[in-house]
Amino acid sequence: MNDHLTDFLQVRGEDFTANGEKVLLRGFGLGSWMNLEHFMIGLPGTDTMIKKAFADVYGADRAATFFDRFLLEFVDERDFAFLKSLGVNSLRLPFNYKYFIDDQRPGVYKEEGFVYLDHVVDLCEQFGIYAILDLHSVPGGQNPDWHCDTSSGLPLFWEYGALRDTVIGLWGHIAKRYRDRPWVGAYDIVNEPSLVKDAVVFNEFYDKVIAEIRRHDPHHIIFIEGNAFTTDFSMLDPVDDPQVAYEFHFYPFVDEPAVLSPEMDRARRRQIFAEAFAKLLAVRDKYKKPVWCGELGLVLNPQEIDFQVSIIEDMLELCETNDVSWALWTYKDAAVMGIAYPREDTPWRLLAGKIKQVWNQHEEQGKGEALVDYMAQTYFKPISTEARYPLQFRMRTIMQAICVEQNLKPFLEELPWETVYRLPESFRWEQCDYCEELAALVRKYTGVR
């Protein structure tokens, strides 16, 4: 066992430190790797829906082979050499609980998830980059949106203690495995909780999971995320653990879409960003702990890349000037938010391009709201904005199920297995390009030339 605590990333006051030196985390998330996100890879449905579609079309064994290849092809040493050339020092690793827990045997942990997690954790260790383990999907869903792999559009995780106990046990199992790995920088307990109603349940969960981790691992930092997709910390009580820190996500255009317009004056946009950031940053003053902006970024359009990189620059500038660690979302995807992406002529991009002709995730929310309004006005009475908000998530899960049947499976059925088997190769580094403008911006803040 490694007894030298200085080898580990640590909390000291309101800073992160390693080997006694202050560390500002600068890096990326590895989105859509161990937790598929439809818009990022160009395939409709949730993680579970997409995998089931492949199994329905090609059979369970071939589907398992396909996703094994996807997970191991997604990043390798060449990606990490690129990350190192950017000067980043951290990588957030989102994963779905289903790689570790069998829903029918919740007390038995699966080893297969560690094959993939260790693959990237080992690369992080090899290249001197902190791996931050992020449980992105939990049983029942911690929020109502697709990215937690919900099939109901309801955050049922907060309704059932049995589901939370399953995740508490999982984190103990993970902590036991990684407790002696200094390049595992932290444990990110649960991504973007939302629509949490009971503060007692919320605080009790964090207290229990921290206690379970500490039974096995006294060293690693534990990140706590707030409610409302980790933008609201008002429900949380202080935590009595010296190695706890707080994480928020910064997508200010969700509330202020006008900031994405080139017509808006940049000074005005910066003012809007600063006001939104200050509200999130208040959590540091409240708890006197370091904070991490675990996600920030936006959908990129090559035709507007200079303008869009200026938006990201305005967000990163707030992190840097306020001494806040950050992780861009995301490192690699099918040319949506990632700095790296398969080229247009690769098989994956060609398939995603065909699907895009009939399916567009960015219209989902509007369609969900319109369907809720139609249902209310046609069969009941018009409903309030407050009531419509949670209902549109439930409507979208129905839409996603339909899209899988009508807009994913038909395309898969046209492709022979031999072609599908090779699709993951599109993510190999030699098949990819990267956004040079965003790379230059990252280097500006890491100091690498």
246 sits in which H/E element: strand 244-250
Tell whether 155 is covered by a domain: yes
pLDDT attached to residue 6: 57
341 sits in which H/E element: strand 340-342
pLDDT tens-digit map of 422-442: 999 999 999 999 999 999 999
Tell whether 407 is covered by a domain: no
Question: What residues are paired with 341 via a beta bridge?
Answer: 433
Of 301, 304, 296, 356, the residue nearest 330 (C-alpha): 296
pLDDT attached to residue 361: 81
The Cα 449–Cα 447 span in angstroms is: 6
In the chain (449 residues long), the average pLDDT of successive 10-residue segments reads 65 96 98 97 97 98 98 98 98 98 91 97 98 98 96 97 98 98 98 98 98 97 98 97 98 95 96 98 97 97 96 98 98 98 98 94 87 94 92 95 97 98 98 98 95
pLDDT tens-digit map of 332-373: 999 999 999 999 999 999 999 999 999 988 888 889 999 999
Q: Which of 192, 225, 247, 313 is catalytic?
A: 192
pLDDT attached to residue 364: 86
pLDDT attached to residue 2: 40
**Whether 369 is catalytic:** no
60-72 burial code (b ≥16 CB/10 A, e <16): eeebebbbebbbe
Tell whether 366 is covered by a domain: no
CATH code at position 64: 3.20.20.80
The Cα 171–Cα 177 span in angstroms is: 10
pLDDT attached to residue 5: 54
The parent domain of residue 173 ranges over 5-342+433-446
Tell whether 43 is covered by a domain: yes
135 φ/ψ angles, rounded to the nearest 5 degrees? -80, 100
Tell whether 296 is covered by a domain: yes
Tell whether 255 is covered by a domain: yes
Tell whether 427 is covered by a domain: no
pLDDT attached to residue 3: 41
Tell whether 361 is covered by a domain: no
The angle, 0 to 180 degrees and rounded to 10, between the axes of the packed helices 199-216 and 161-178 is: 30
Considering its fold, how many domains does the chain have in total? 1
Give the tokens for residue 298: 């936006």
**Whether 304 is catalytic:** no
Question: What residues are paired with 28 via a beta bridge?
Answer: 91, 328
Q: Which of 37, 212, 225, 295 is catalytic?
A: 295
